[in-house]
Amino acid sequence: MAIDPKTKTLVQTLGVVVTMGALAWASVPFYNWFCRVTGFGGTTQVALADQGREILDRTIKVKFDASKERNMPWEFKPMQTEMEVRLGEEGLAFFEAYNPTDHPVAGQAAYNVAPYQAGGYFNKIECFCFTEQVLQPGERVQMPVSFFVDPEILEDGDAKFYKHITLSYTFYEIDLPEDVQAALDIDSGASGLPGGAENENGAPASVN
C-alpha cells in the first residue's frame, strides 16, 4: 500500500527529531558541530572580534535562558535576563555555574537561538560553550559570552521583523578530562591500603 506523501514527510521529520535528540544525549560536541554545519535548531555562528562590521542605530533585545540535563548536578543560570544591543554592536553577557558536590564535575554546553531563523545572524565571538568546563567541589564561576547580531538580518524577509532573540544554553555532564581523572585516581590510591594506611597513632603505616 502506498504511503501518503504527508504521512511520509511527518514520519521523516519525527525521525530527524528523534535522531538528533539521541545525538544530543550521546555526544554534545558532535551535536553542536552538526547544528553549526546544518543550521539545525537555530544554531548560532562564530565570528572574529574585529571584522570592521557596520553598527546600526536599530536595536534588538537579546534574552538569555539556562537549563541543564536531568543528571547534571551543577546549578546554572544567566546573570542577566535580557539586554538591548544595536545591530552589529558587540554585547557581553555572563552565566553562572556552581558545583555543590564533593567531587569535580565536567560539563559541556549545548546552545541554540530562538526564533530559529535568527540563528544565522547571531554571532558569538567568545563563549564558554566552545570548550568543556570543569568545576571543582564547591567552585562557582562566572562564564562570559560575547556576541553581536549581524545587520544583514534586516535583509531577511522574515527575520527583519524580530523584536527579540533568545539565546539558550543547556549543560550536560561529560567524562572528566584524562588529566583530572588521573589526578583523582592518584589521590584515591594514596589514601588506600597499604601506602595510605595509618597506624593506631595516626602515623603512616610502614609497608614491608
Range of the domain at 137: 42-185
Average pLDDT of the chain is 80
Does any domain span residue 162? Answer: yes
Q: Is the per-residue pLDDT at 188 higher than 70?
A: yes
User: Using an 8 Å Cβ cutoff, are 198 and 204 in contact?
Assistant: yes
**34-48 pLDDT, tens digit each:** 444 444 444 556 665
E strand or H helix at 200, and its extent?
Answer: none
Domain tally, the chain? 1
pTM: 0.70
Does any domain span residue 163? Answer: yes
**SS3 state at 154:** helix
Does any domain span residue 8? Answer: no
**SS3 state at 193:** coil
Does any domain span residue 132? Answer: yes
Does any domain span residue 48? Answer: yes
Lowest mean pLDDT among 46-60, 71-85, 107-121, 125-139: 46-60
Tell me, what CATH number does 100's domain have?
2.60.370.10
| All three cell numbers of 93 | 553577557
Does any domain span residue 10? Answer: no
**SS3 state at 39:** coil
User: Using an 8 Å Cβ cutoff, are 126 and 145 in contact?
Assistant: yes
- Report the C-alpha gap between 6 and 24 in whole angstroms: 27
Task: Give me the sheet containing 59-68, strands edge to edge.
Answer: 82-86, 59-68, 164-174, 105-114, 133-135
Does any domain span residue 77? Answer: yes
User: β-strands 82-86, 105-114: how paired?
Assistant: unpaired
